[in-house]
Amino acid sequence: MILWLLHQWRGYLYVCMSGFGAERFFNLCAANGIELWEVIDQEKNYQFYMTLPGYRASKLLMRKANIRLRILRKMGLPFFLYRNRRRKLSLLGMLMCILLFYSMSLFIWDISFEGNTRYTDEMLVQYVNRHDIHYGMRKSQISCDKIEAGIRNEFSEITWVSAQVSGTKLFIKIKESEVLSIIPVKDETPSDLVASDSGTITKMMVRSGIAQVSIGDEVEKGQVLVSGAIPVTNDNEELITIRQVHADADIYGILSYSYTKEYPRLHTVTVKTGKERIGYYGKAFQYSAVLLVPDPQNRSWNFTKELHQMKIFENFYLPFYYGIIRGTEYQTYERFYTREEENALANQIENLFLKNLMEKGVHIIENNVKILDNESVCRIEGIVTVEKSIGQDLPMIKRDEMRMKRGTYDNYN
Amino acid sequence: MLEHVGAALVSAFKLPQDVMLGEVLLSIVGRQVVLIENYKSIILYADHCVKLQTKNGKLTINGEHLIIEYYTKDEMKITGRIRSVELDGV
């Protein structure tokens, strides 16, 4: 590539050589550093490429080797400029183009992030935008060190940042920490463990506190399951003090959830007709244009746009975009769900509900679903029996406040 | 005499002979490409034959439609349909 550019820059010739001392000429050229390439033997003569400076330097060698060179083609920039010497506007256009590319190379036209998984590109773009780093800014105004330090300080999970300007692109490479940056602190505040739901207790394992219920008991929501107040008695079993601890236990209970979901039986169906349209999209800086033939019948179309940013080299992005707009025609109409569709939809809703429950660590024991429908509405009713952890912390301060409030209210009444 | 000593030394120290003694180095890629290094001069170039002078003799490449892709003072790349490569000399 570099050699090709060099040949283009200096100019080169395709020549035909005739005479008797061909090999001598080749050897003389090699000895004098004259570059020849793609040498072909054409029975009576030889044809090859040589550079313009090489051709000029080989005049003496031609005489020595007793050969003649005939120029078949002239190529490269010097010949191009000579041929187009009268076309001043073209030359001006070329110069303007070079100037335009040069001026555009002074700005940033693309920002890319690599290695981020916890923080989205949008979050990082918003951050850099807040710090006056944006698309279209001058490259000289960018301080990569500042960007790196700023990102590390702003996002605690990011441990390593590398910002680099290459061409017209700002690369920000990120490494995130793979371990938790904050170690969860064990809660030691005095508290009781209360029931988060009503149900029947199936499993209990108390680590701290005094159990107030046992396996098989029916409990109500808010009922104390494990008390964090531990009475301290003396040898005569007289109460000396009450030690307050953080009640800690695994308590599982069986309970039932009911859920209902209603949806209209009439729904809109979208059908593709198979007709397609193609349009073109172009954008330069903030100005954009769309080339799409309007539809006189005003039918419904679903459009997708494929956007590409123009670039000269790998990282030399330009502020120009082009894209193809593809439209597919569709029609909509309303109809009732069929029985199969209703069942499928009910299954889908049920699965979603159960999936949500299972994600919370709930063990599903039984599930009963009924589909009830009338003319316009379809109703799904379900009762699901589950086994789940029903313990919930209630700090003693909060509990006392609640009691005091209740007491004041009672007194007031 | 000196040449023999040099060759013995290069062999003893396991040095590359093409670099130390200027021996011709040939690389052949299939039947299409031959790369020659350390040649001295071109003796003959024709469509079916390229004959080169090397330090210790002559190197002949026979084939069809032979083209010298490029060459410098000590390196040459020949493409075409290679039929044989011959070394003759001392």
What pLDDT digit, counting tens, does each position of B60-85 carry? Answer: 999 999 999 999 998 999 999 999 99
Q: What mean pLDDT, rounded, does chain A reach?
A: 87
Mutation choice for A interface testing from B36, B73, B76 by most A CBs within 10 A: B73
Please determine, for residue A413, whether its predicted confidence score (pLDDT) is greater than 60. no
Contact A40 B67 (CB under 8 A): yes
CA dihedral for A405, A407, A410, A411, sign (positive or negative): negative
Considering only the beta carbons, identify the residue of B42, B47, B69 that sits closest to A26. Answer: B42
Contact A30 B71 (CB under 8 A): yes
Phi–psi pair at A57, nearest 5 degrees:
-80, -10
pLDDT in tens, A82-141: 898 888 898 899 899 999 989 988 999 888 899 888 888 899 989 988 988 888 899 999
Residues of B in contact with A23 (CB under 8 A): 41-45
Contact B70 A31 (CB under 8 A): no
Contact A38 B66 (CB under 8 A): no
Residues of A in contact with B71 (CB under 8 A): 26, 30, 36-37, 39
Considering only the beta carbons, identify the residue of B41, B45, B71 that sits closest to A41. Answer: B45
Mean pLDDT, rounded, for A266-290: 90
Confidence category of residue A405, pLDDT binned at 50, 70, 90:
low
Please determine, for residue A409, whether its predicted confidence score (pLDDT) is greater than 50. no
Mean pLDDT, rounded, for A283-292: 90
Q: Residue A173 has what pLDDT?
A: 92
Q: Name the percent of chain B in helix, strand, coil, to the closest 5.
A: 15, 60, 25
- What is the pTM for the complete model shown? 0.47
Contact B70 A46 (CB under 8 A): no
Contact B70 A38 (CB under 8 A): yes
Beta carbons of A391 and A206 less than 8 angstroms apart: no
Chain A closest-CA separation from residue B32 CA (Å)? 15
Mean pLDDT, rounded, for A196-217: 90
Residues of A in contact with B45 (CB under 8 A): 22-23, 26, 39, 41, 46
Q: Residue A135 has what pLDDT?
A: 83
Q: Residue A20 has what pLDDT?
A: 86
Task: Please name the residues in contact with A173: beta carbons below 8 A apart, sequence gap of 6 or more.
Answer: A113, A114, A115, A161, A162, A163, A164
Q: Residue A408 has what pLDDT?
A: 46
Mean pLDDT, rounded, for A262-281: 89
Cα(B23)–Cα(B38) distance, integer angstroms: 6
Instruction: Please report, rounded to a whole number, the percentage of residues in chain A having pLDDT higher than 70.
Output: 96
Contact A23 B44 (CB under 8 A): yes
Please determine, for residue A11, whether its predicted confidence score (pLDDT) is greater than 90. yes
Q: Residue A412 has what pLDDT?
A: 37
Q: What is the side-by-side order of every strand in the sheet holding A287-291?
A: A287-291, A266-284, A317-336, A301-311
- SS3 for A253? strand
Cα(A236)–Cα(A239) distance, integer angstroms: 9
Chain A closest-CA separation from residue B3 CA (Å)? 26
Beta carbons of A77 and A84 less than 8 angstroms apart: no
Confidence category of residue A176, pLDDT binned at 50, 70, 90:
confident
Chain A closest-CA separation from residue B76 CA (Å)? 10
A–B CB contacts, 8 A cutoff, strictly below: 45
Chain B closest-CA separation from residue A13 CA (Å)? 15
Residues of A in contact with B42 (CB under 8 A): 23, 26-27, 30
Contact B42 A40 (CB under 8 A): no
Confidence category of residue B59, pLDDT binned at 50, 70, 90:
very high
Please determine, for residue B8, whether its predicted confidence score (pLDDT) is greater than 80. no
